[in-house]
Amino acid sequence: MTVSRGPGDKTGGDSLHGLVEERLRQAAQRYTSGRRALVDLLAQAGHPLSIEDIAEQAPRMPRSSAYRHLVDLQQAGVVRRVAANDGYFRFELAEDITEHHHHLVCTYCGQVLDVTPTPAFEQAMNSYLASLTGSSGFVSDDHRLDVLGACATCNRARSARRDQALPRATPQPAGRP
Amino acid sequence: MTVSRGPGDKTGGDSLHGLVEERLRQAAQRYTSGRRALVDLLAQAGHPLSIEDIAEQAPRMPRSSAYRHLVDLQQAGVVRRVAANDGYFRFELAEDITEHHHHLVCTYCGQVLDVTPTPAFEQAMNSYLASLTGSSGFVSDDHRLDVLGACATCNRARSARRDQALPRATPQPAGRP
DNA sequence: TATACACTGAGAACAAGTCTCAATCCAACT
DNA sequence: AGTTGGATTGAGACTTGTTCTCAGTGTATA
Ligand SMILES: [Mn+2]
Ligand SMILES: [Mn+2]
Ligand SMILES: [Zn+2]
Ligand SMILES: [Zn+2]
């Protein structure tokens, strides 16, 4: 049985753990069972995980340890921290371990999905980024594209109702009491 | 003297305040001097402001009031809250008041700049978004593109040094004591 | 002027994320 | 096999951006 490790699943077999171990060694860190559990979670999720997601799927891991592991894995270049629209961080494997991808953010249920861009689009993206370097003196070395909308599930729920209104989960601020 | 209101400066003259007042009225809210001051700040900044930016430029406004005004203005559709890479929110005028734009995020000093995309790129973006709708059942109604890199100022500072290392402000997690 | 709400400021409350510290593990030696 | 020094871990205190509470003030409208 093969397990999907994210979009594209670049690293076949178990080279993933070897690669992670090597990067940790570079940072004088050990690849312990807690860290391995986290990497497995992130690899099998295929989309960025919140600390809540992690706590659900690894109930025995203390939150302080999870946070610290994530920091260490970031510093080793294994994990990337992404700021979602709701102000909470999500965590995913670094793109050079999985593959460059974008995010579909459902503004109703808050779920974040990975999607791999078409080569044509990335080409347009690159020429656009090149044009930015010239005009403003800004030198880009990465980009992040989030597509906001309704996922398939929430879409069905919405069209099932007469009124187009569904409770939104993500961008709505707190409001007045 | 004309004041830039953001990229493109869609609303000329003082129709901005009229528009804001109208949207607040729709939400049964008044356009008071504190709220007007905030709208002026956001309009003149031309890039998303942090609560710290706001406190600096409007020292007499209490933070609790600033936050509450921002919530009210969001609910009225005047302000948009953007989650920056450092985990803190920034605030800017809604895109249908200014113009659709993207963000240049400097990963060294944390500053966020607005940039208006070329029509060619937005066209590529639209066809890309259309392709997403088909495949996964996800229906997109908005997108957010953040370009990460080094702003002109930090770029100069970086090339002035022999080593390429500058202290990063944004994505670097806290580290171990 | 009276009345009913909306608005405001001060500060308490909340919670995601970070830090501290004592205990434990483990790779590298003898 | 035992020692040892540094890395790792769990529990909980702490920090701080953001939200909530509440009493007092402003302001439309009649
Ligand atoms: Mn891309
Ligand atoms: Mn765009
Ligand atoms: Zn959804
Ligand atoms: Zn900069």
CA B105 to ligand 2 center in whole angstroms: 15
- What local confidence, expressed as pLDDT, does residue B136 receive? 80
Nearest nucleotide to B68, CA against C1' atoms: D19
Please give the average pLDDT of every successive group of 10 residues along chain B, which has 177 residues.
47 80 94 97 95 97 98 96 90 95 84 91 94 85 91 76 42 43
Say if residue A93's pLDDT is above 50: yes
Burial state string for B91-126 with b = 16 or more CB within 10 A and e = fewer than 16: bbbbeebbbebbbbbbbbebbbbbbebeeebeebbe
Say if residue A30's pLDDT is above 70: yes
Task: Identify the band that residue A160 occupies on the pLDDT scale cut at 50, 70 and 90.
Answer: low
Number of domains in chain A: 1
In a domain, A108, yes or no: yes
In a domain, A8, yes or no: no
In a domain, A7, yes or no: no
Residues of A (110-139) placing their beta carbon closer than 7 angstroms to any atom of strand D are none
Q: Which residues contact A17 (CB under 8 A, 6 or more apart)?
A: A31, A36, A39
- What local confidence, expressed as pLDDT, does residue B105 receive? 86
Task: Identify the band that residue A136 occupies on the pLDDT scale cut at 50, 70 and 90.
Answer: confident
Of B83, B86, B136, the CB nearest to A113: B136
For residue A140, what is the domain's CATH number?
Answer: 1.10.10.10
In a domain, A6, yes or no: no
In a domain, B6, yes or no: no
Cα–Cα distance, B53 to A148 (Å, whole number): 27
In a domain, A170, yes or no: no
Residues spanned by the domain of B29: 13-165
Nearest nucleotide to B27, CA against C1' atoms: C6
In a domain, B57, yes or no: yes
In a domain, B5, yes or no: no
